[in-house]
Amino acid sequence: MESSPAKAESPPESRHKDVGEILFTAEQIRARVDELGKQISLEYAGKRPVLVGVLKGVLPFLADLMRQITLDAEIGLMAVHRPHGYGHPDVKITRDVQLEIEGRHVIVVEDIVDMGQTLNKILEHLRGKKPASLEVCTLLDKPARRVVEVPVKYVGFQVPDKFVIGYGLDYRERFRNLPYIGTMKSEPEL
């Protein structure tokens, strides 16, 4: 006798004890990433874009996004460090993209655009490599905290001026593995 697989149902979002409010469920994130992938595929039809992910919070988003893009895209990674801590304008690039991007269509993929300082530094650096085009795709945009205006073409969700965690976003390297995006119960010390 053959057995058929049970119908898979999504388990309810179990809230971590340090999470205050769940802003976006795993299902909402999945649906929005799918939409972004379709939009990028449409707008870059006939091109071979380079997706440049900024480590390390971007990993879940980048992995899900690249699977939704139906083009022959290449993936590059960068890493940055703020030696003087969060909010300080000094940003150092600690890992440069390893691909040749001159003359290529580049999309910087970010987990969150907050103050804009980090993204501004990344864009300045990449412009120096003379790409054919340079756009930004971010899962989360927090315009209320913007200090430096940066162009963001593709936005997953706008978030309030609260500290958010989950789906790659962390607090002291914790909570990246949560399948949803939420706020912390109490504002963390930065």
Straight-line distance from the first to the last Cα atom of the chain, in angstroms, rounded to the nearest whole number: 59
Catalytic pick among 72, 90, 111, 114: 114
Q: How far apart are CA 5 and CA 67, in angstroms?
A: 25
Active site residue 114: yes
Written in H, E and C, the secondary structure of the chain is CCCCCCCCCCCCCCCCCCEEEEEECHHHHHHHHHHHHHHHHHHCCCCCCEEEEEECCCHHHHHHHHHHCCCCCEEEEEEEECCCCCCCCCCEEEECCCCCCCCCEEEEEEEEECCCHHHHHHHHHHHCCCCCEEEEEEEEECHHHCCCCCCCCEEEEECCCCCEEECCECECCECCCCCCEEEECCCCCC
Q: How far apart are CA 7 and CA 31, in angstroms?
A: 20
Active site residues: 114
